[in-house]
Structure formats: C-alpha cells, structure tokens
Amino acid sequence: MELTYRPRRLRRTASLRSIVRENILTPSDFIYPLFIHEGNDIQPIGAMPGINRWDLESLITEVQRAWELGIRCVVLFPKISESLKTEDGVECFNEKGLIPTAIRCLKQEIPEMTIMTDVALDPYSSDGHDGIVSPEGVVLNDETIVNLCKQSLVQAQAGADLIGPSDMMDGRVGAIREVLDDEGFEHVGIISYTAKYSSAYYGPFREALDSAPRALSAKPIPKNKNTYQMDPANSREALIEAQLDEQEGADILMVKPGLAYMDIIHRLRQESDLPIAAYNVSGEYSMVKAAAERAWIDEKSVVLETLLSFKRAGADLILTYHACDAAQWLIDM
C-alpha cells in the first residue's frame, strides 16, 4: 500500500511511544482521601476493600507512607460519634474536635504534606445533610453558610492548606474567602467542589462516615440531596457554577464524581485556566475492587488507565482511594 502517513510508526517501540505520549501520571497528581475516627484502632470499611478508618496514631503512619510514595496532598474526612451530632452540626467548628486535632498532629509530624479539608455539615448533622434542615424539611442555604465559615476558619487556624467546601450551598466560596482573608488566612487556598452531582456513586462513602440522610424525629428530612447537589442530566449548569466559584475566589475547581462526568471535566478545562480536580469517588473505587477480587479485570491496569483518563480529560489533580497503590505501581514501572 502507498500510504504517506502511518500512525503506527510512532507506536512501534516502547521508547517511541514514551516520547510522543501526551499525558503522564505521577504520584504528585494524587490527593489521597483518608477517613479518621475517635478511638485507638484501625477499622476496615466493608464497602471499600482496602480502605480504613484511621485513629490519630495510625493516621500519621499512613500519611508518612503516602509522602514516601510521592503523594503530596491528603484530604481528611471524619467519622463523628453519634453523641456529638446535632441538627445544626456545630461540632464542625469545635477547635478541639477531630479534624482540627488531626491537622495539628499531621502538621507537627509531616509538615511538608499539603492538608486539604472537607467543609460540609453532613458528618456532624443528626439529619445527615450538608446543610441545616428547617422544621419544614428545607435545606437552608444562608444559615448553613454561617456555620461553614466557622468550620473553615477553625480548620485554617489548625494549619489546613486547602479548604474544600463540598456542601454546594450558593455563595459559600465567597463567604469563606472573605472570612479567611479578614482573619489573616489569605494564604489558605479554596479547592471548591464546583460541580458536585447528586450521584448514586457515593454509597460506600456514606457507609464510611455514617452520613446518609435520615429521619430521627418527626421533622420531614429530604431522602436525597437533589435540592442542592447538581442534576446528573445537566452540563451547562456546571459552567455557571465554575464561573461563580472563580468570581468568588476559588483557587481550584473540582468535578465529582469523575468517571461518569468526564465531559464536565473537559468542559471546565476548556472554560477555565484554574487547576481542575477530579474526584474518583467511592462507588467507582469499590466497583473496580469488586471486579478485581473476582479476577474479572486486572486491577493495576484498569486503575492506571482510569486515572490516566482523568488527565486526558483535562484534570490536573485526582482525588482517589487508589492513590497509594497507584503511586507504588508507577514507581515500579
């Protein structure tokens, strides 16, 4: 055949493929989510094989392991005692609470590690929602933001590097930015959950934190988070959210979940010059682990291909429970 151009020429050897490769993965691309709890033990999470709730002592060891693998950022999620949960979630801004204590411990032991936090009320709420639920069963926006700002400030005071509002209340990025700046924490960044969808992929996460919506009283509690998290049918709306977050002072934009929302990652990449993060969420993780346990897939190959696909779509950062495994695989390659 008389072909002028043969794309296979650049695929012929491993070295040729490597020099024309458009995207690469490195351990520093990963943000490692960690679940923590009060207590003195490590608690495996049934719905997420290989993932645990860490006590403070073991948390330090795990974060040190991540640092040695080349991971440079972790995000902390708390499993809060039922006795501390209230309708307004005020435990979220207890300066002696679990998250501020963990931040201080990590900054003392591994000061170079970037610490990201989660800002939302659901781990602290007896109603299981990201915001305060009114007596009529409405998730209140502005009233919730007051507590989110207090939560963000306490986290910044403890030493957090990145504040991560995941609540999807309107205007919370600007309000948090103003409070942080007014209190002398203008150096603390905001990584906003910009396009967080009301997704079925979050199930294992809610088991990990015991944070699903629930009705413990006569007050009507919404069974889902559809009134504040985004509709999975919408994509243009994500651009509106991104524009608002940029205007309000976000430093990094996030899309959650990741795999089913590659188009959203790509659209935000085209529209914004800010760093884009993708959250490879618990349901995505658990499906891969379940298939690998049954030998239906090769876990290493599938995980690395999946993580690379986030980079190809336009993500700069990837929150993933596969972080340590993937980092080790990349080192060994």
Give the tokens for residue 246: 């940029």
Q: What is the pLDDT of residue 219?
A: 84
List average pLDDT for each run of 10 residues in the chain, which is 333 residues long.
93 95 97 96 95 97 98 97 94 97 98 98 93 95 98 98 97 98 98 97 85 77 94 98 98 97 98 98 97 98 98 98 98 92
As beta bridge partners, residue 73 has 114
Q: What angle do CA 77, 80, 85 make, to 5 degrees?
A: 125
Annotated catalytic residue, options 196, 225, 289, 311: 196
Active site residue 256: yes
The structural domains of the chain, ordered by start, are: 24-254 (3.20.20.70)
Q: What is the pLDDT of residue 211?
A: 72
Q: What is the pLDDT of residue 325?
A: 98
Q: What is the pLDDT of residue 215?
A: 73
Q: What is the pLDDT of residue 60?
A: 98
- Which phi and psi (to 5°) does residue 185 adopt? -115, 40
Contact 294, 266 (CB under 8 A): no
Whole-angstrom distance, CA of residue 101 vs CA of residue 95: 8
Helices 299-313 and 262-271: crossing angle in degrees, nearest 10, is: 30
Element (H, E) at 243: helix 236-248
Whole-angstrom distance, CA of residue 111 vs CA of residue 108: 6
191 by Cβ neighbours in 10 Å (0-12 / 13-18 / 19+) ranks as buried
Active site residue 223: no
Contact 91, 78 (CB under 8 A): no
Q: What is the pLDDT of residue 44?
A: 95
Annotated catalytic residue, options 225, 256, 289, 311: 256
The whole model's pTM is what?
0.95
Query: How far is residue 212 from each of residues 75, 117, 126, 190, 325, measured CA to CA in Å?
Result: 20, 19, 10, 25, 28
